[in-house]
Structure 1
Amino acid sequence: MRATHLRLNQADSAESAPKNTNLLGLDAVRAWAAIGVVVLHACVPYSNPDVPGLTWATTDTPHSGLTALMWAIEIVIMPIFLVMAGFLAVRSMASRGPLATLKSRTRRLGWPFVLAVVFLIPVDLYAWLLGWLADGVITPRQMRSLKFSEGQDQHLWGLSHLWFLQYLILYIAVLAGAWKWLQQTDPKRVFRIGMPLVIAVGVAVLCVRPEVVWGFQHAFLPVPSKWLYSGCAFAMGVLIAHADPDMQGLTRFAGRAWCPSAMVCVAATMLGIWVLEQPTVSDTEQASAFPVVISSSTWLCLALLTVAGATGVAFSLIGLACRWVKRLDPITQQLATASFAIYLLHHPVLVLVHIAVKHGLPSASPLLKMSLATLIAVCVPLGMHFVLRRVKARRQSKQIERSDQDGPSILAMPTTSDASQSEQRLAG
């Protein structure tokens, strides 16, 4: 089965892999990871404590279960996407060359990124301001003029969820530049040295800038700490593809490591929430987005658990999926096909639902509100995707019919069967 239209990193498809390798599980992981992103964002208004550095459109009744779910997803979700992106980028460069892959990825990711920045970011902005207006945070005049009180819009401006596309294009460019060197290295040796190194870099970044994971860094240009930490996950995918292109070692690892990895992720979630609940330092000049009063050993422990949990869960999910998924069920197929549309379009839809359920269903359970918001934020982009695909297919069909009708008259007359097929096509 195929899932190749408008997917996140569309050219990085499991079906583009060699026929003797079953990587269809990557499409399954991509499909449900896209839903995980929506669930993550759907939980934000109900989190307590709030996400440092993240300004959401509205806040609602806190829920401890949704808070834990949000942070557990936050730890693992982007490493999953980035490991797959690194793995598939290597496979593409191995078959097509680094320059062709870079051009293809830049075109396939760059144009949606530019269009989303031009058209989607303004929609996101006014959806946010509508939530602030409904909560009484700003006035209609401020919404029209975009002039706010000092510090009110501190975390408002940036690429929002589109940062992933920007970072991914840059990672692929770096990989294309280093491709010749990578091909000259011994895969096993590079893996043995490189994997501990990128894990150590990830831990070091979180020790210095824990807000990379345990907060949100909003900007229009790449944030160095966030770019470096996310690049570690992409590099892991590169190392796996270089040393274990068939993922045989990863599937063996997944069978043994999925349970310990899940437990480490739970421990990281619990410790991270506890850290965020600690008193903050009054010194606003502190570098951290949430300068809490804890020891350096606690920071180190949180960084180790976060990186270990993210790495283990990402590897386990990918490995288990590649081991067990032999075909995509219809739901997973549809989600995989529309995963890019879900990723791009869910944000403003989700925010508008958050605002509506807060003020329209004030006494409803946070779990019900989150579930409703997730369902709508998935179904609306899903429906838009398939409507646009149907329109595109119909347009292409008409172009084919027109080209058939405009064929040169010097062609031989059709046979009876050919004429019958032509009449059926014109009638249809």
Structure 2
Amino acid sequence: MRATHLRLNQADSAGSAPQNTNLLGLDAVRAWAAVGVVMLHACVPYSNPDIPGLTWATTDTPHSALTSLMWSIEIVIMPIFLVMAGILAVRSMTSRGPLATLKSRTRRLGCPLVLAVVFLIPVDLYAWLLGWLADGVITPRQMRTLKFADGQDEHLWGLSHLWFLQYLILYIAVLAWAWNWSQRIDPKTVFRVGMPLTFSVATVVLCFYPEVVWGFQHAFLPVPAKWLYSGCAFAMGVLIARADADLSWLKQVAGRAVCPSALLCIATTVLGIWVLNHTPSENVQYASAFPVVISGATWVSLALLTVASATGLSLSLIGIACYRVNKIGPVTQRLATDSFAIYLLHHPVLVLFHVAAKHGMPSASPLLKMSLGTIIAVSVPVGIHFVFRGVMARRKSTIASQRDQDAPSILAMPTTSEDAVSERRLAG
């Protein structure tokens, strides 16, 4: 798989990994998981109920199938990325050491994060405000001054989809800090204890803070509940890679676990939508963002099903891909190469399409709008990355050719005076 500077976790390529592990499967999962993220966001305007805590630029005609699809992707998509990130972090630290890995990842993830905060977040903000303006939610003056009515911008400010980069840098820092200590413990023992422990911690977090999955927590700094829940998925990847470097166990169990995990995901989606459709009660105080009148057993059941389906389906898809994928087609290779660009750039493109589709195609099917939005929001970042790579390649080629021209020749050519002396000698 060809490496690129905009490829997520690209420090761990097949060339630097152990030869008995197939990383092409991880590349394939990364490629189509990036499309899954875009599809998830493409479904948001058509969801009913809405995602608690998530402020989108516009809302459109609700569609039950798109609502189910959105929540099904939401349950599993980030655990997939986080498990892969944990696996690749262990591989990198094993071959290069924890400090080198931390420096490399901080540079490769931190620099895009800073640039995106400076340049991309403002674009995201005004794309959102443009949607609000088109829907009549705000006035042009509010858009210009960024002064809103009380509570209108409650969920507007934060890192948006860039939270993943921030959290991942912190997870790698924690792993690097604990790396030498972890090497003194038997990996298989840690796996047998650690997997149930991380599963339990994730379940407890969701029991008290279901909005970690069944909502959106928007902030500039890490939200403790969200950071802990997402860290459990990263820890699972670390535990698997430490105990089974070539992922043979994951490949063996994946085929048997994928169907039960998919059924669990369907059941979780149905239960979650049923819970969110309950009318909030102002008289009931809960620790979570979901003050709905349901029993504690329902909260626990939803948490257990969510963690079980997310864990089972993410591990199954990764295991099946690592076992079966021996060659990547051109489309998957392109998506894998451009996956980081898709992740970074799709947000404003998709939001602008949502606004245009709502007001320009009001009678079109939500399924058509979602499909077109996904295709456009994937194609534009791929095209931008393709052009960017072409420009950088031409720039490097120009610099190299200039260096070749400026470099002294290995065989010195004779000067004019030397030529004259040589001619006189030949003439006798």
Same fold (TM over 0.5): yes
1: CA distance, partners of 2:58 / 2:283: 27
Contact 1:14/1:27 (CA < 8 Å) preserved in 2?
Answer: no
Matched, 1:315 2:315: yes
SS of the residue 1:281 aligns to: coil
* Unpaired segments ≥5 residues, structure 2: 414-428
Q: Partner letter of residue 254 of structure 1?
A: A
Offset of 1:403 from its aligned partner? Answer: 1.2
Offset of 1:285 from its aligned partner? Answer: 6.0
Give matches, 1:175-186, under 5 Å. Answer: 175-186=175-186
Offset of 1:307 from its aligned partner? Answer: 0.3
Structure 1 residues 91-141: Cα deviation after superposition (integer angstroms, max 9, x where no partner)? 100110000000000000000000000000000000000000000000001
Structure 1 residues 222-249: Cα deviation after superposition (integer angstroms, max 9, x where no partner)? 0000000000000000000100110000
Give matches, 1:20-169, under 5 Å. Answer: 20-169=20-169
1: CA distance, partners of 2:295 / 2:412: 85
1: CA distance, partners of 2:99 / 2:251: 30
Offset of 1:63 from its aligned partner? Answer: 0.2
Q: Partner letter of residue 246 of structure 2?
A: D
Give matches, 1:195-274, under 5 Å. Answer: 195-274=195-274
Offset of 1:410 from its aligned partner? Answer: 4.3
Offset of 1:327 from its aligned partner? Answer: 1.1
Q: Partner letter of residue 372 of structure 1?
A: L
| CA RMSD after TM alignment | 1.1
Contact 2:90/2:238 (CA < 8 Å) preserved in 1?
Answer: yes
Offset of 1:11 from its aligned partner? Answer: 1.1
SS of the residue 1:21 aligns to: coil
TM-score using structure 2 length: 0.95
Q: Partner letter of residue 90 of structure 2?
A: V
1: CA distance, partners of 2:403 / 2:5: 24
Query: Does the C-alpha gap of structure 1 residues 412 and 17 become closer, same or farther in structure 2, counting only changes over 3 Å?
Result: farther
SS of the residue 2:8 aligns to: coil
Matched, 1:362 2:362: yes
Query: Does the C-alpha gap of structure 1 residues 367 and 14 become closer, same or farther in structure 2, counting only changes over 3 Å?
Result: farther
Structure 1 residues 183-217: Cα deviation after superposition (integer angstroms, max 9, x where no partner)? 11101110000000000000000000000000000
2: CA distance, partners of 1:9 / 1:66: 30
Query: Does the C-alpha gap of structure 1 residues 15 and 267 become closer, same or farther in structure 2, counting only changes over 3 Å?
Result: farther
SS of the residue 2:328 aligns to: coil
Q: Partner letter of residue 151 of structure 1?
A: G
Offset of 1:283 from its aligned partner? Answer: 4.5
Structure 1 residues 356-407: Cα deviation after superposition (integer angstroms, max 9, x where no partner)? 0000000000000001111110010000000000000111111111111112
2: CA distance, partners of 1:14 / 1:165: 22
Offset of 1:284 from its aligned partner? Answer: 8.4
SS of the residue 1:356 aligns to: helix
Give matches, 1:339-378, under 5 Å. Answer: 339-378=339-378
Q: Partner letter of residue 105 of structure 1?
A: R
Offset of 1:291 from its aligned partner? Answer: 1.2
Q: Partner letter of residue 144 of structure 1?
A: R
Larger Rg: 2
Q: What is residue 417 of structure 1 aligned with on the other side?
A: none
Q: What is residue 423 of structure 1 aligned with on the other side?
A: none
Offset of 1:286 from its aligned partner? Answer: 4.0
SS of the residue 1:89 aligns to: helix
Structure 1 residues 155-177: Cα deviation after superposition (integer angstroms, max 9, x where no partner)? 00000000000000000000000
Q: What is residue 416 of structure 1 aligned with on the other side?
A: none
Q: What is residue 416 of structure 2 aligned with on the other side?
A: none
* Unpaired segments ≥5 residues, structure 1: 414-428
Matched, 1:190 2:190: yes
Contact 1:40/1:74 (CA < 8 Å) preserved in 2?
Answer: yes
1: CA distance, partners of 2:377 / 2:40: 12
Q: What is residue 405 of structure 2 aligned with on the other side?
A: 405
SS of the residue 2:245 aligns to: coil
1: CA distance, partners of 2:408 / 2:185: 57
Q: How many residues align?
A: 413
1: CA distance, partners of 2:217 / 2:203: 17
Identity %: 77
Contact 1:5/1:338 (CA < 8 Å) preserved in 2?
Answer: no
TM-score using structure 1 length: 0.95
Offset of 1:3 from its aligned partner? Answer: 4.2
Offset of 1:317 from its aligned partner? Answer: 0.5
2: CA distance, partners of 1:338 / 1:13: 15
Q: What is residue 424 of structure 2 aligned with on the other side?
A: none
2: CA distance, partners of 1:65 / 1:233: 27
Offset of 1:320 from its aligned partner? Answer: 0.3
1: CA distance, partners of 2:40 / 2:182: 35
Give the 4+ runs in structure 1 shifted more than 6 A. none
Structure 1 residues 33-54: Cα deviation after superposition (integer angstroms, max 9, x where no partner)? 0000000000000000000000
Q: What is residue 421 of structure 1 aligned with on the other side?
A: none
Contact 2:188/2:243 (CA < 8 Å) preserved in 1?
Answer: yes
SS of the residue 2:22 aligns to: coil
1: CA distance, partners of 2:4 / 2:145: 43
Q: Partner letter of residue 407 of structure 2?
A: G
Offset of 1:20 from its aligned partner? Answer: 2.5
Structure 1 residues 271-299: Cα deviation after superposition (integer angstroms, max 9, x where no partner)? 00000001212148643222111101000
